[in-house]
Amino acid sequence: ESIYSVRNVSRRYGELAALDDVSLEIRRGDWVSIVGPSGSGKSTLMNILGCMDSPTEGIVLLEGERLDKMGEPELATVRRQKIGLVFQQFHLVQHLTAVENVMLAQYYHSIPDEKEAMAALDRVGMADRATHLPRELSGGEQQRVCVARALINHPDVILADEPTGNLDEVNERIVIDFFHTLHDAGTTLIVVTHDAEVAAQGGRQIILEHGRIAREAADVASTPTK
């Protein structure tokens, strides 16, 4: 069963096709790595999958719903209900503490629950920093709070753009292990990364070049069993 169906999608900026006739099926529970050189369209694809941008041509379905037909308010609802985003541009709210930032994401979805928010921070090794403001945290610590925030609502799909970009080896391991736990629980993961080790965690690697899917590689070792 496909969670995402992307059919003949293009995203044009004037003459430039940031995405050029891309078709892609992503099954529920897949772990897909998106790789490719700078400017190949990775962020454009993630923004469309993440309900932050719309294609100029083609069809995008998420769980059978036409994202390409939706305007911003509808897209925002889908984003909050179904998708966990770990995007660098999706900053923490500066005047709220780490735990409050996680609870804000809960608020948009259901009812904030401090115990749950603390548990999520604990999963990424940030429980002891819960009452700190973002500016009191290092880049890597903020990144881990963003991971906790993205996961708090148990989204069907996690979209992560360079989720380990700011992290040292120890914290990269924490995040990768957490992704494995989520994947084992059935969450769909779509991860843009330049890190070959992170990319290899996924069962599929989609290689983008010039806005097109140049090829796809399967990593047999970590192909999901269910």
Binding site for ligand ADP (CB under 6 A): 13, 16, 18, 36, 38-44, 76, 79-80, 83-85, 90, 93, 104-105, 108, 149-150
Our CA dihedral for 97, 103, 105, 110, rounded to 10 degrees, sits at -170
Q: How far is the CB of 56 from ligand ADP (least distance, A)?
A: 12
Q: In the complex with ligand ADP, which residue's Cβ is closer, 2 or 56?
A: 56
Q: How far is the CB of 95 from ligand ADP (least distance, A)?
A: 11
Q: In the complex with ligand ADP, which residue's Cβ is closer, 29 or 41?
A: 41
Q: Is 57 exposed, middle or buried (0-12, 13-18, 19+ CB in 10 A)?
A: middle
Q: How far is the CB of 146 from ligand ADP (least distance, A)?
A: 7
Query: Which sign does the torsion angle of CA 12, 18, 22, 25 carry?
Result: negative
Among 210, 170, 222, residue whose Cα is nearest residue 44: 210
Among 54, 50, 82, residue whose Cα is nearest residue 69: 54
Q: How far is the CB of 225 from ligand ADP (least distance, A)?
A: 28
CB 13 within 8 A of CB 55: no
Strand order across the 157-161 sheet? 83-86, 157-161, 188-192, 31-35, 204-209, 212-218
Q: In the complex with ligand ADP, which residue's Cβ is closer, 216 or 223?
A: 216
Q: In the complex with ligand ADP, which residue's Cβ is closer, 93 or 217?
A: 93
Q: In the complex with ligand ADP, which residue's Cβ is closer, 8 or 223?
A: 8
Q: How far is the CB of 221 from ligand ADP (least distance, A)?
A: 26
